[in-house]
Amino acid sequence: MEAVLPVRASSKSWIRDWVLTVDHKKIGIMYGVTSIFFFLVSGLFALLVRTDLLVPSGLFSMQTYNEFFTMHATIMIFSVIIPLLTGAFGNYLVPLMIGARDMAFPRMNALSYWLYLASGIVLILSMFFGMPDAGWTAYPPYSIQSTGPGIDLWVMAIHIAGLSSILGAINFVVTIHKMRAPGMTYNRMPLFVWSMLVTAYMQIFGTPALAGAVTTLLADRHFGTVFYDATAGGDPMLYQHLFWFYSHPAVYIMILPAFGIISEVLPVFARKPIFGYHAIAYSSVAIGFLGFFVWAHHMFVAGMAMSAGIPFMISSLIIAVPTSVKIFNWLATLWRGAVEYTVPMMYASLGFIGSFIIGGFSGVIVAAVPLDMHLHDTYFVVAHIHYVLFGGSVMTIMAGLHYWFPKVTGRMFNERLGHVSFWFYFIGTQVTFFPMHLLGLAGMPRRYATYAPEFQFWNDVATIGSYILGIGTLIIVFNLFYSAKYGKKVGNNPWRARTLEWTVSSPPPAHNFSKLPVVTQNPYQAYTVEELEGTVG
């Protein structure tokens, strides 16, 4: 039976249109705009951190520096990368890609957005009540001793973000399992949907551990409990176990959807089916599963026996296998392709693959217990995580923002400016983060407000790189927001992409599909010369 959709006159009320909306596309856009705002805030903190490190004695006070790096990481992880990838891309794309009219629980979807916004506001507020200075990891006992309500608000922000995350994840799991269009079997789902399914399960399974960690932290701070008080029989290491049981999988929560975006962008602009659909889909599942068995590789030097690190070293090395399977399949997708150098393709190919593999390889080095004994808590780790989260996640977010921009707005961004921003990003990433490997090898510890003079040269290089990234970011944000209003209008499918969201108008109608699509194959099929006529390239 064909469902009859109520036709609603477009409302002039801004509140009805946005604040009360339960439309997954509008919620996705709100997630996107909000997290881009937080990206600018958190990026500003990063630039201040780098500016402080221009001189060995530090330009700001040490307290200020400690607060800045704490805020940079917390906002970037909880208010930018996770919500951008799952909240913005996931929300906007998953129902469209599986041929559904909305998420399974639209009101709960709106609730997750508003909780996310509340969490970000609480986090920003914490800056004005004694800014948190315990690092984003907030290890006790320091985080318990640190005074002022800043850290309490920080804990509250994490709680609210976690709740938002779990609600969102439940929504994705139910939507993907139950709302797929006729004929959309699991093995016909777009690879982005596969990656979102695995990500959602990881969020549901991992986030409660984080909630447990920060709740007990709060109890130790205010209610006289002794979970982490060694003098009373507590144990600070317990916090680290709970924290990393969430926070290592969180790295995969921040990279799996990115892998999904790459798997969508590469075949479209290589004008070729994706190579190894099943291998890419199932390797995401493998990463999601193995991701819960590696957490203690953050704790090789934290007080466990060195040999207790061996199983975690092995599991961390094994998780590199499904990751390299993906890399080789992406390379094989380019092989014998007809590659178009569009802006999203530049970010996805040279930008993402070219940078992310450095983070993957440095991950193999720090996973090795004997080498981690030297490199742990040095700038080598800072280099590693930024090649994964910036060279990997953020680079891909930029690929995705440019790729789906014409779908969301019905307009095209300025391509010339897009290419300029790409080169700022690509060069800036290498100049900022590569020197950090060298600093780490030389033994410079992380989270240092001041440092020895022999570390100045590479610190200054990194700081210059961060300014290049700052300029690149401003260009991207200007380009996207300006073009959303003034960009050239384009048709429904300017890229000639194959996933279902490109079969509807740009922007898509309120309920996506007036008639549910019937799916007969996966979206990665060969191109013909005729259908590509008139495209760029």
Partner 1 sequence: MVAIASWLPTELTQMSHQVDRLFYIMLGIIAFFFVLVEVLLITFLVRYRRSRLNAVGANVHGNNKLELLWTLVPAVVLVFMGVSCVKYVYAMQTPPAKPEVIQVTGHMWAWESQYPNGLKTRDDLRVPAGENVLFKITSTDVVHGFYIPAVRIQQDALPGRQTEFWMKADAADVGKVFDVPCDQYCGLQHSLMDAKMTVMTPADYERWKQSELAKQQQSSGQ
Q: Which 336-365 positions form the footprint of partner 1 (CB under 8 A)?
A: 336-341, 349-350, 353-354, 357-358, 361, 364-365
Report the nearest approach of partner 1 to the CB of residue 11 (Å): 44
Contact with partner 1 (CB under 8 A): which of 309, 410, 418, 428?
Answer: 309
| CB closer to partner 1, 40 vs 365 | 365
Query: Across the strands, what pairs with 445?
Result: 378
Dist. CA 8–CA 21, nearest whole Å? 13
CB neighbour class for 222 (10 Å; exposed up to 12, middle 13-18, buried from 19): exposed
For Cα atoms 108, 110, 114, give the angle at the middle one, nearest 5 degrees.
115
Contact with partner 1 (CB under 8 A): which of 177, 278, 416, 488?
Answer: 278
Q: Does 178 bind partner 1 (CB under 8 A)?
A: no
Report the nearest approach of partner 1 to the CB of residue 499 (Å): 16
**Mask for 465-494, x = binds partner 1 (CB under 8 A):** ------------------------------
Q: Does 139 bind partner 1 (CB under 8 A)?
A: yes
Strands 411-412 and 488-489, sheet pairing = antiparallel
Q: Does 458 bind partner 1 (CB under 8 A)?
A: yes
Q: Does 226 bind partner 1 (CB under 8 A)?
A: no
Q: Does 133 bind partner 1 (CB under 8 A)?
A: yes
| CB closer to partner 1, 39 vs 243 | 243
Contact with partner 1 (CB under 8 A): which of 148, 182, 183, 303?
Answer: 303
Contact with partner 1 (CB under 8 A): which of 121, 179, 219, 317?
Answer: 317
Q: Does 19 bind partner 1 (CB under 8 A)?
A: no
Residues 419-448 that bind partner 1 (CB under 8 A): 438-439, 441-448
Q: Does 521 bind partner 1 (CB under 8 A)?
A: no
| CB closer to partner 1, 78 vs 527 | 527
Contact with partner 1 (CB under 8 A): which of 373, 478, 482, 489?
Answer: 373
Q: Does 241 bind partner 1 (CB under 8 A)?
A: no
Token couple for 229: 């008080």
Q: Does 457 bind partner 1 (CB under 8 A)?
A: yes
| CB closer to partner 1, 38 vs 300 | 300
Report the nearest approach of partner 1 to the CB of residue 369 (Å): 5
Report the nearest approach of partner 1 to the CB of residue 338 (Å): 4
Q: Does 325 bind partner 1 (CB under 8 A)?
A: yes
**Do 244 and 295 contact (CB within 8 A), yes or no?**
yes
Dist. CA 167–CA 158, nearest whole Å? 14
Residues 194-223 that bind partner 1 (CB under 8 A): none
- Residue among 82, 196, 288 at smallest CA distance from 499: 196
Q: Does 527 bind partner 1 (CB under 8 A)?
A: yes
Token couple for 131: 């800014």
Dist. CA 420–CA 472, nearest whole Å? 8
Contact with partner 1 (CB under 8 A): which of 47, 54, 62, 510?
Answer: 62
**Do 291 and 312 contact (CB within 8 A), yes or no?**
no
Size of the site for partner 1 (CB under 8 A): 103
Dist. CA 178–CA 430, nearest whole Å? 43
Q: Does 142 bind partner 1 (CB under 8 A)?
A: yes
Dist. CA 62–CA 493, nearest whole Å? 52
Contact with partner 1 (CB under 8 A): which of 11, 33, 145, 187?
Answer: 145
Token couple for 9: 């006159």
Any idea how long the chain is? 537
**Long-range residue pairs from 60-69, CB within 8 A, at least 24 positions apart, any chain:** 60/449, 62/449, 62/450, 63/133, 65/449, 66/133, 66/135, 66/447, 66/449, 67/127, 67/131, 67/132, 67/133, 69/45, 69/135, 69/447
For Cα atoms 488, 492, 496, give the angle at the middle one, nearest 5 degrees.
100
Burial readout 65-102 (b: 16 or more C-beta within 10 A, e: otherwise):
bbbbbbbbbbbbbbbbbbbbbbbbbbbbbbbbbbbbbb
Residues contacting 459, CB < 8 A, separation 6+: 53, 54, 435, 439, 451
**Do 283 and 322 contact (CB within 8 A), yes or no?**
yes
Dist. CA 74–CA 234, nearest whole Å? 26
Q: Does 236 bind partner 1 (CB under 8 A)?
A: yes
Q: Which stretch binds partner 1 (CB under 8 A): 83-91, 298-306, 400-408, 411-419?
A: 298-306
| CB closer to partner 1, 94 vs 369 | 369
| CB closer to partner 1, 78 vs 380 | 380
Contact with partner 1 (CB under 8 A): which of 47, 121, 285, 327?
Answer: 327
H, E, C per residue of 146-173: CCCCHHHHHHHHHHHHHHHHHHHHHHHH
- For 1, 30, 179, 372, the CA distances from 515, given in Å and listed in that order, are 11, 27, 14, 56
Q: Does 246 bind partner 1 (CB under 8 A)?
A: no
Q: Which stretch binds partner 1 (CB under 8 A): 9-17, 120-128, 307-315, 415-423?
A: 307-315
Report the nearest approach of partner 1 to the CB of residue 350 (Å): 7
Q: Does 272 bind partner 1 (CB under 8 A)?
A: yes
Contact with partner 1 (CB under 8 A): which of 40, 55, 106, 141?
Answer: 141
| CB closer to partner 1, 89 vs 154 | 154
Q: Does 273 bind partner 1 (CB under 8 A)?
A: yes
Q: Does 518 bind partner 1 (CB under 8 A)?
A: no
Q: Does 231 bind partner 1 (CB under 8 A)?
A: yes
